[in-house]
Amino acid sequence: MKKNVFYYYILVLVAALWQTQARAADYYVEVGGVHITSDNYKNITAAGGFTAVKKGKITFDNSTRTLTLNNVLIKPDEYKPGISMFIDSENKERPLIIKLVGRNVIEPTNSVAVETLENAVVVTGSGSLEVSGNVSLSPGGQLTIQGGCTIEAKSPVWGNAITIDDAQVHAVRLWEDEPCMCAFRGIKLKGGSYLASPQGATCEYRGDMYHAIRGYVFVKGKEICGEVLIKRGKNTGIDNAATPPSTKEDVIYTLDGIRMKLPFERLPKGVYVVNGKKVKKE
């Protein structure tokens, strides 16, 4: 009898271990509110349970944390984000990479198109992405838009810091007085990207905006820009200073080697060497 009981408990233990091993690994990325896991990552389609995916092809490579959108239309249920990533302690230092192929659209209703709680987001690829919702892009960390892609944001773009590197971004606001683009730690244009419209706008820090939002925004005169167009240009190796350096530690020289004592934002237009790096003042 004791022997039978012993074997019974062994079978129970083996079954429990098998269930634990068989449980799908969660990759902490969602499409339309549905988790991508080790079981379903090869079938991110409506038939695979991702009902927000209306057309196109989505693939996910967990080894590089890359979500590839290939001519995709994502329309999630109301209040659900298009693409989201919640806290992942295992990959908290790794960005979510969204690679664009062809024309892609994310249309949430009363929610955000792309959001993360704390991870950085990199949008790259040769394709385009049209995003809408309450907020178009809202990562909890750094937002980098690069690689020649085009972003059409029909609602604001947020980020802890924003870098636009050899990419085109058109962003508009939804509500009066809110900024169309805002980053707490600054907005940086690289790889030839430049502010095409509105002409004469600058990037400044504001701490008293719509809904207590604070951060760097584009401003023309005293008005916060409700629409901006950042275009791709020729990569000259000189960064465009969307967020002018303004700390006391900045060391600024002209190309002739003359040290400037004025803050960067008070200098005339031209190219300067700021902390050892060429920066263009528009």
The more confidently predicted of residues 7 and 153 is: 153
**For residues 167 and 187, what is the distance between their CA atoms, to the nearest angstrom?**
14
Is the Cβ–Cβ distance between 242 and 195 less than 8 Å? yes
Matching residue, tokens 């020649």: 148
Residue 273 Rama label (left phi>0; alpha psi -120 to 50; beta): beta
Per-residue pLDDT of 163-207, as tens digits, reads 999 999 999 999 888 999 999 989 999 998 999 999 888 888 888
Helices (H), the chain: 2-22
Measure Cα distances from 96 to 56, 67, 128, 144, 147 in Å.
20, 8, 17, 10, 15
Res. 4: pLDDT tops 60: no
**For residues 160 and 186, what is the distance between their CA atoms, to the nearest angstrom?**
8
Residue-range domain boundaries for the chain: 26-231, 252-281
The DSSP code for 212 is: G
Mean pLDDT over residues 146-159, rounded?
Answer: 97
Per-residue pLDDT of 106-118, as tens digits, reads 999 999 999 999 9
Q: Per the structure block, which two tokens stand in for 182?
A: 């805002």
Q: Per the structure block, which two tokens stand in for 131?
A: 């995003």
Closest CA to 259 of 248, 272, 246: 272
All residues at 6 or more sequence positions from 82 whose CB lies less than 8 Å from its CB, including other chains: 31, 32, 52, 74, 76, 106, 107, 108, 111, 112, 113, 114, 131, 133
What pLDDT is stored for residue 161 in this prediction?
94
**Global confidence as pTM:** 0.80
The more confidently predicted of residues 241 and 15 is: 241
**For residues 24 and 136, what is the distance between their CA atoms, to the nearest angstrom?**
30
Measure Cα distances from 207 to 172, 224, 228 in Å.
20, 12, 20
